[in-house]
Amino acid sequence: MADFIDDLLRRMSLADKIGQLNHPGIGADTTGAGTAAADIETRIRRGEVGGLSAGFGLERLAALQRLAVDHSPHRIPLLFTLDVIHGHRTVFPLPLALACSWDPDLVRRTARVAAAEAAAAGVALAWAPMLDVARDARWGRCAEGFGEDPLLAGAFARAVVEGYQGRDLARPDSVMACAKHFAGYGLAEAGRDYNAVDVSPFRMHNVVLPPFKEAVAAGVGAVMVGFHDLAGIPCTAHRQLLKGLLRQRWGFDGLIVSDYTAIAELVNHGVAADAREAAFLAFTAGVDIDLVSGIYLDHLPALVAEGRIAAAEIDAACRRVLRAKFRLGLFSEPLRGLDEERKDAATLTPEHRRLAREAAAKACVLLKNNGVLPLARAGGVIALVGPLADSRANMQGTWAVAAQPSDSATILEGMKAALGERGTILHAKGANIVDDPNVAARLNLFGETFAIDDRSPEEMIAEAVACAGRADAVVACVGEAKEHSGESSTRTDLGLPGSQQRLLEALHRTGKPLVLVALSGRPLALEWEDRHADAILHAWFGGTEAGNAIADLLFGDINPSGKLAMSFPRSAGQCPIHYAEAPTGRPIDKIGIDVAGDAEVYGDGRRVFRKFTTACRLEGAHTPLYPFGHGIGYSKFRYGELVLDKPALRGDRDVLTATITVRNIGALPGEEIVQLYIGDPVASRSRPVRELKAFRKVTLQPGEERAVSFDITAADLGFFRAERLDEPEEVCEPGLFRIEIGRSSQQLSAATIEWQAAA
Ligand code: BGC
């Protein structure tokens, strides 16, 4: 490969090399800063295009590829790229939903299928996985990532990279993966997309960067840079982050790609006076590929001529692009994946659908159940109501660019198919997703997924209540439209939109058992629902087979097993909220008690609040409504004592085993996700109260008991100290550590161990 690329580079002019760094946009430009798609053929002939979005039919892609390999100066093939975020034509649950499976192997399998389908549609590089740790449910892009925890997200980072890239990138069912958005994008202030992020190197290394490090260790081919600024420096211009940390410290030698028009946006950020300066800043920071700005093409030649950028640096960036194309087999087979017959055979197969159904069921989280679920089939009448009960175009969730709504079953269809002749389903819409036509228009930006009903909210509610009156149980499918989450979809209110809550209140008043199936791309604030519904199944957006999978769960054909990968707040005002909080100087568990009515009552009846602790919350508790790791099923699991095989560890290699027994005391077989957390109560830095360190999923038959063991080494106890982003120091500090094992981040058994450095 090296000789081939050396030879090619020797023959290329500076302009040819810069052409390889240019990745123009096609189709509608949504930001106004992109280069036009116009005249793409001429540009390809001139060697000005390194890659393109694969967002159009195979015939056109094949024609463009032929143009590149037959008529561009060095016959270099184009790199076709696309957002393949949670499946391609077969749509899997949103990444945040998949994360609730706590099942990296499942995610690896979904990624393999996504890669096979995308590759068969001409895609060579997928803009995924998104690895931004997200702790603020207002941020719409939390849907695209794997939740709030760095370890869990890291496990999925590896799974997706391995699933996409396979053993060999040149295989016809592999695509190159791209870890994004480097780094810290998920911590945008107030959850407002594109907003500034100002976090310390300490938090970056302990929270934000671990999933990216895992992706790099797994061999990810590309990294996309975040839109945002990090402590005043836009990531696109962040030399310390890109060159210092990613290239030099971590040794990443794959592609570094800007986000869409992000190089041009350096002018808006206010760090570049003009396009040329933006090109200079981005390139010298380490960005190889200019996605859609067209600025490299226009300005790098002059910057080299002026001596501000060394020609050797252009060579190095171009070499990385050529290497990626070589590894993908594009030089030997430029038309890879551009074959209509292969595409049909590889797409939406029964096997893919089966996996989609399995994944959709494993991604759902049963938040609450007072026994009303699973629903009885025989002879029952079920009122299936709510704006998402029969909403085909909303089943796939955001960022499903190749989805065809007609492929998806709705919940109504799934329920009818599962029930057959054994019972009756009555259906009413009950409410619009939103009632405000302006909001509806925004939510239908990428094509209409729902329409506002002609009837008034009152009429719709009355119809649903009438249905409920004739039923034995009510299943209300409520939540968001698919575009409520995703890019630039920030919410300031995390309740159910529009008149949906009013619908639920009216249904509740009927006195019929009330089951909620909630669909959303983010955690919602469901305090009222928690108090009044008999059961809540959080189904996220589950993709092509979601309707069937939800029916599988509601009727108990599958036992729910998902657990939350992101905390559910009580209200938007609590955001950001996550389980791995710092103890602070006034820890709630030591000084205040975080429950309603938690003031001490003196003998004379006076209520005394502890100043600055319990008294500092004026509305509601500080804790989340449903914590990270929470999720129940139709079985019950009893946890035994936490047992350690020894009390202390010494040095780096020593292993201590912590074991807990878990017994299925329910009547159904079930899966339980057992979680290990570690806390470091005294260290040179204030460490989070607890951090997830390992997890295991066990399947238990009724009455079966299993000892679940975790091996703990110094690697689980350490953390990063970092004053500078590019100079992290990984340390393990001697002392006591708290080991906790249990069913969620708030239901745990604890023990203490000691670690000492080797003598
Ligand atoms: C998003 C990226 C995406 C890119 C290309 C941007 O707006 O931030 O995540 O990969 O567009 O579609």
The answer on 496 and 397 residing in a single domain is: yes
Residue nearest to atom 8 of ligand 1 (CA): 259
| pLDDT for 593 beyond 50 | no
pLDDT of 595 reads 47
pLDDT digits (tens, 9 = 90+) for 238-259: 999 999 999 999 999 999 999 9
pLDDT digits (tens, 9 = 90+) for 62-78: 999 999 999 999 999 99
**How many CA atoms, within 13 angstroms, populate the side-chain half-sphere of residue 367?**
31
**Closest of 424, 502, 529 to residue 470, by C-alpha:** 424
Mean pLDDT of 184-188: 98
Mean pLDDT of 493-512: 98
Mean pLDDT of 397-416: 96
Q: What CATH number does residue 710 fall under?
A: 2.60.40.10
Q: Do 674 and 700 meet the contact criterion of CB atoms below 8 Å apart?
A: no
Q: Considering the domain boundaries, does residue 391 fall inside one?
A: yes
The answer on 527 and 430 residing in a single domain is: yes
- Residue 366 β-bridge partners: 537, 632
> Rounded to an integer, what distance in angstroms lies between the CA atom of residue 351 and that of residue 173?
15
Residue nearest to atom 12 of ligand 1 (CA): 83
Pocket of ligand 1, candidates 83, 180, 228, 291: which has the most ligand atoms within 8 Å of its Cβ, to mutate?
83
pLDDT of 588 reads 65
> Rounded to an integer, what distance in angstroms lies between the CA atom of residue 525 and that of residue 512?
23
- Is 180 a pocket residue for ligand 1 (Cβ < 6 Å)? yes
What percent of the chain has a predicted confidence (pLDDT) above 90?
Answer: 90
Strand-pair category, 648-650 with 747-756: parallel
pLDDT digits (tens, 9 = 90+) for 643-661: 999 999 999 999 999 999 9
Provide the 3-class DSSP secondary structure of residue 661.
Answer: strand
Q: Do 423 and 105 meet the contact criterion of CB atoms below 8 Å apart?
A: no
The answer on 607 and 709 residing in a single domain is: no
* Residue 471 CA: distances (Å) to CA of 267, 382, 510, 710: 60, 5, 10, 48
pLDDT band at residue 617 using 50, 70 and 90 as cut-offs:
low
pLDDT of 609 reads 56
The answer on 593 and 615 residing in a single domain is: yes
The answer on 443 and 403 residing in a single domain is: yes
pLDDT digits (tens, 9 = 90+) for 303-329: 999 999 999 999 999 999 999 999 999
pLDDT digits (tens, 9 = 90+) for 696-743: 999 999 999 999 999 999 999 999 999 999 999 999 999 999 999 999
Pocket of ligand 1, candidates 23, 127, 488: which has the most ligand atoms within 8 Å of its Cβ, to mutate?
127
Residue nearest to atom 11 of ligand 1 (CA): 260
The answer on 369 and 499 residing in a single domain is: yes
**Closest of 223, 225, 239, 254 to residue 321, by C-alpha:** 254
Q: Do 483 and 143 meet the contact criterion of CB atoms below 8 Å apart?
A: no
Q: What CATH number does residue 21 fall under?
A: 3.20.20.300
pLDDT band at residue 603 using 50, 70 and 90 as cut-offs:
confident
Q: Considering the domain boundaries, does residue 184 fall inside one?
A: no
Residue nearest to atom 5 of ligand 1 (CA): 260
pLDDT digits (tens, 9 = 90+) for 340-356: 899 999 999 999 999 99
Type of residue found at 136:
D
The answer on 431 and 532 residing in a single domain is: yes
Other CB atoms within 10 Å distance of the CB of residue 582: 11
Q: Considering the domain boundaries, does residue 196 fall inside one?
A: no
pLDDT of 598 reads 52
- Is 136 a pocket residue for ligand 1 (Cβ < 6 Å)? no
Q: Considering the domain boundaries, does residue 220 fall inside one?
A: no
pLDDT of 55 reads 83
Alpha helices in 422-516 (DSSP H): 437-443, 457-469, 500-509
Q: Considering the domain boundaries, does residue 535 fall inside one?
A: yes
Q: Considering the domain boundaries, does residue 183 fall inside one?
A: no
- The two structure tokens encoding residue 196: 């500034």
Provide the 3-class DSSP secondary structure of residue 111.
Answer: helix
User: Alpha-carbon dihedral of residues 142, 146, 149, 152, nearest 10 degrees?
Assistant: 180
> Rounded to an integer, what distance in angstroms lies between the CA atom of residue 475 and that of residue 296?
55
The answer on 737 and 664 residing in a single domain is: yes
**Please, what is the Cα angle at 472 between 471 and 477, to 5 degrees?**
70
- Is 259 a pocket residue for ligand 1 (Cβ < 6 Å)? yes
DSSP 320-386: HHHHHHHHTTTTT-TTTT--HHHHHHHSS-HHHHHHHHHHHHHH-EEEEESS-PSPP-TT-EEEEES
CB neighbour class for 537 (10 Å; exposed up to 12, middle 13-18, buried from 19):
buried
pLDDT of 402 reads 94
The answer on 453 and 367 residing in a single domain is: yes
259 catalytic residue (yes or no): yes
The answer on 547 and 587 residing in a single domain is: no
Overall residue count recorded for the chain in this entry: 759
- The two structure tokens encoding residue 649: 């560890």
Number of domains comprising the chain: 4
pLDDT band at residue 378 using 50, 70 and 90 as cut-offs:
confident
Q: Which of 515, 539, 554 is the last residue of a domain?
A: 554
- Which of 83, 103, 149, 259 is labelled catalytic? 259
Mean pLDDT of 670-687: 98
Residue nearest to atom 10 of ligand 1 (CA): 127
Peptide bond into 73 cis (omega under 30): no
**Closest of 340, 433, 435, 343 to residue 395, by C-alpha:** 433
Q: Which of 565, 591, 623 is the last residue of a domain?
A: 623
Q: Which of 623, 654, 674 is the last residue of a domain?
A: 623
Ligand 1 center to 169 CA (angstroms):
22
Ligand 1 center to 96 CA (angstroms):
17
603 or 632, which is more confident? 632
* Residue 447 CA: distances (Å) to CA of 136, 405, 558, 731, 733: 27, 11, 34, 51, 55
- Residue 197 β-bridge partners: 230
The answer on 642 and 502 residing in a single domain is: no
pTM of the entire predicted model: 0.96
- Is 487 a pocket residue for ligand 1 (Cβ < 6 Å)? yes
Pocket of ligand 1, candidates 29, 265, 487, 490: which has the most ligand atoms within 8 Å of its Cβ, to mutate?
487
Q: What CATH number does residue 471 fall under?
A: 3.40.50.1700
- The two structure tokens encoding residue 373: 């679920």
Domain that holds residue 421: 351-554
Look over the chain and give the mean of its residue pLDDT values, rounded to a whole number: 94
Mean pLDDT of 391-419: 96
Q: Considering the domain boundaries, does residue 715 fall inside one?
A: yes
pLDDT band at residue 625 using 50, 70 and 90 as cut-offs:
very high
pLDDT of 615 reads 46
The answer on 360 and 327 residing in a single domain is: no
| pLDDT for 33 beyond 80 | no
Mean pLDDT of 539-546: 98
Q: Considering the domain boundaries, does residue 123 fall inside one?
A: no
Ligand 1 center to 158 CA (angstroms):
21
Q: Do 292 and 260 meet the contact criterion of CB atoms below 8 Å apart?
A: yes
DSSP-derived letter for residue 694 is E
